[in-house]
Amino acid sequence: MLIDYGLVSPGHLHFGNDHDGMRALRFVEHHIDQLRDDYGVRDIELAVPTHIHDDHVCGIPFLQKHFGTQCWALDCIAPVIFDPAAWASTPCCFHKPIEVHRILYDGEAFQCRGFDFEIYYAPGQTEYHAFILGKIDGKRIVFGGDNLLNPQAGGIASVIAIHSTVMRNSFHLEMHAAARR
Amino acid sequence: MQAIKPDLVCPGHGELIPMDALRIAEYTDYIQRKEAAFRCR
């Protein structure tokens, strides 16, 4: 199971408008060899995206093509990644439709290979965003996507989790309270 | 976040962030202050 499978590094991000140039967004396979060689992972059965943004989901069609990977997604995320053409005004959608095999709902629990997970609606960086809680080796680990960022790169020295807000990404005031609860 | 009470956060970019009650409070306080700022309270 992978939570998100997108770009390998920020160097692949496409910030400009040069859609035909070298900096255009392009997915490159990554970490599959390492997972196989170092951890014996032969198959990727499931991918669960934290949110709709292209840098987090653009590798999922590759997984589906080569591994037959299922995609499970929160109910607000699924329609966007399944039919991105219908969401053309929503920033940072990935242009290829992603087949979604199971729709998950806010607070729903699910299992993968004996591990327990829960998914929660958590808007912020975009309205279409989830927190995924995994109970792994006795720890509660939240996969926070881009709603939980360590802002060290922004010049803040301490390691803290901050809630991101991007006004262009369908911002609503209610996002704050929903992420805090 | 208050209900989930994570021990660790795996952000979308960057390294793992250890969490405890203080850091969860810090996170939610940040949201509280941000909401207050947006609503001009």
Q: Is A85 helix (H, G, I), strand (E, B) or coil?
A: helix
Question: Phi/psi at A130 (nearest 5 deg)?
Answer: -130, 155
Residues of A in contact with B1 (CB under 8 A): 131, 142, 179-181
Q: What is the pLDDT of residues A101-112, one digit of tens each?
A: 999 999 999 999
Mean pLDDT of A111-138: 93
Cβ distance of A141 and B7 shorter than 8 Å = yes
**Domains recognised in chain A with CATH numbers:** 2-179 (3.60.15)
Predicted confidence band of residue B13 (pLDDT cuts 50, 70, 90): confident
DSSP-assigned beta bridge partners for residue A135: A116, A140
Distance CA A133, CA A3 (A): 11
Check: CB of residue A59 under 8 Å from CB of residue A67.
Answer: no
Hey, is the C-beta of A131 within 8 angstroms of any chain B C-beta?
yes
Model confidence pTM above 0.80: yes
Question: Phi/psi at B2 (nearest 5 deg)?
Answer: -65, -35
The beta-carbon neighbor of B3 closest among A152, A173, A181 is A181
Contacts A–B by Cβ distance under 8 A: 98
Cβ distance of B5 and A140 shorter than 8 Å = yes
Q: What is the pLDDT of residues A33-91, one digit of tens each?
A: 999 999 999 999 999 999 999 989 999 999 999 999 999 999 999 999 999 999 888 88
DSSP state, residue A11:
G
Q: Is the pLDDT of residue A140 over 80?
A: yes
Distance from CA of A105 to the nearest CA of B (A): 16
Hey, is the C-beta of B21 within 8 angstroms of any chain A C-beta?
no
Distance CA A39, CA A66 (A): 19
- Surface of A (76-95) touching B: CB under 8 A: none
DSSP state, residue A9:
S
Higher pLDDT, A69 or B28: A69
- Surface of A (137-156) touching B: CB under 8 A: 139-150, 152-153
pLDDT of A154 reads 55
pLDDT of A13 reads 61
CB-based burial of residue B27 (10 Å sphere; 0-12 exposed, 13-18 middle, 19+ buried)? buried
Q: Which of A66, A58, A49 is nearest to A1 (CA)?
A: A49
Mean pLDDT of A93-108: 95
Distance CA A60, CA A27 (A): 10
Return the amino acid letter for B4: I
pLDDT of B31 reads 81
How far is the CA of A23 from the CAs of A19, A40, A99, A106, A111, in angstroms? 8, 34, 27, 36, 38
Question: Token pair of A90, please?
Answer: 């929503």
